[in-house]
Amino acid sequence: MLVNKQTINIAVVDDHPIVIEGLQKILPQAFSITDIKEFVTGISFINFLKEKLVPIDVVLLDITLPDRSGIDLCKEIKLLSPTTRILAFSNHNERSIILEMLQSGASGYLLKNVSATELITCIQEALNNEITFSQEVKEILARADVSALKQLPSLTRREKEVLKMIAEGKTSIEIAKELFVSPLTIETHRRNLMQKFDAKNVAALMKLASELKLV
């Protein structure tokens, strides 16, 4: 581990006790940490950040949380605390999710099978304002083809709503009634979604959205 321990404030947002226990043993060996802040839901961590009691240097963030997506949470964290380095800490190894986390503001992505030494190295690189990955993630990204590296579509909140309703099998008329807009407006959203995903039909749109964990 590191000889000269760097003093940092670190948080872990994960609902698996065994992960928390493991990190409690590993992290103090390399860093001077007064207290590892632990959160099992996204909203509890967001509320903590809003109180601004303790600045967080690094947060290890799970992708799958009980109350919300780690990808959406990543964006919220960066809005509330731009200097906090966010490291995704997950079992998900899909390239699309890795890329989306980076686009949401993460400083890196680690799989949970990472070694203690590799974990410490990645945290240190993030503290040095570097983008960092565990070795297996580097290999996943290295295998990515050109299409996988295309920028993921940026969707508005309303487009996300419409996308989820389409996935539920609702018609434009049904969606329009629920959102209190005209069917023509929904058809416009449909066309915009098809263009953003470069999808030729609804089936292709749903397949891509599913792969990106958007529905």
Task: Tell me the per-residue pLDDT of 167-197, one tens digit each, with 9 for 90 and over.
Answer: 999 999 999 999 999 999 999 999 999 988 8
What are phi and psi for residue 90, nearest 5 degrees? -145, 165
> What is the predicted pLDDT for the residue at 4?
54
The CATH class that applies to domain 6-147 reads alpha beta
> What is the predicted pLDDT for the residue at 214?
78
CATH 3.30.390.50 fits 153-211, yes or no: no
Q: Could you give the residue ranges of the DSSP H alpha helices within the chain?
A: 17-26, 42-51, 70-80, 95-103, 116-127, 135-142, 157-167, 172-179, 183-196, 202-211
> What is the predicted pLDDT for the residue at 145?
53
Q: Which residues of the chain, if any, have pLDDT below 50?
A: 1-3, 146, 149
> What is the predicted pLDDT for the residue at 191?
92
> What is the predicted pLDDT for the residue at 1?
44
Please give the Cα distance from 108 to 61 (Å, whole number).
10
Q: Please, where in the chain does CATH 3.40.50.2300 lie? A: 6-147
Q: Please, where in the chain does CATH 1.10.10.10 lie? A: 153-211
